[in-house]
Amino acid sequence: MKKVSVSFTLNGDSVKAEVPATWTLLKTLREYFELTGAKEGCGVGECGACTVIMDGEAINSCLCPIPEVEGRSVTTIEGLADEDGSLHPLQDAFLKNNGVQCGFCTSGMIMSSKALLDQNPDPTEDDIRTTIAGNFCRCTGYVQIVESVEMAAKEGK
């Protein structure tokens, strides 16, 4: 197994992963760093449960070869709440507005939404739906997820 050493910023910390070159960012997060928030829902970039933010952009970590993460900045769901435990407005909104039911899609859903709000603090419903089009959810019918993102956007203002 050809291994690589990849140095990058993970949730604000400088880290180094020594893993097989064939590993994806998702596998590295879940198995090397034991950050299991990002999930494998399909493994082929279709469901979005593995979504994390890399250099400000939402990506499917299941398709991201770990060598590509060298020198980059990655944020996962675990990096969202403050050190003192206070929740990001998105996390808070999802709990208040029933944007989370079984929760499997939630990490990816919130990270996609965060990438949106960081770039566009005042999104329309269309913007939100386009943003989460690649995040599948079977529980909610998406309505309360969209409402949660809208609530978080208002909160942020």
Please give the Cα distance from 121 to 88 (Å, whole number). 14
Cβ nearer to another protein, comparing 17 with 100: 100
Minimal distance, residue 55 CB to another protein, in Å? 10
Q: How many residues make up the chain in this entry? A: 157
Minimal distance, residue 48 CB to another protein, in Å? 6
Please give the Cα distance from 143 to 6 (Å, whole number). 39
Minimal distance, residue 122 CB to another protein, in Å? 16
Q: What is the DSSP string of 67-97?
A: GGGTT-EEE-GGGTS-TT-PPPHHHHHHHHT
Cβ nearer to another protein, comparing 95 with 122: 95
Please give the Cα distance from 50 to 107 (Å, whole number). 8
Minimal distance, residue 74 CB to another protein, in Å? 13
Cβ nearer to another protein, comparing 4 with 15: 4
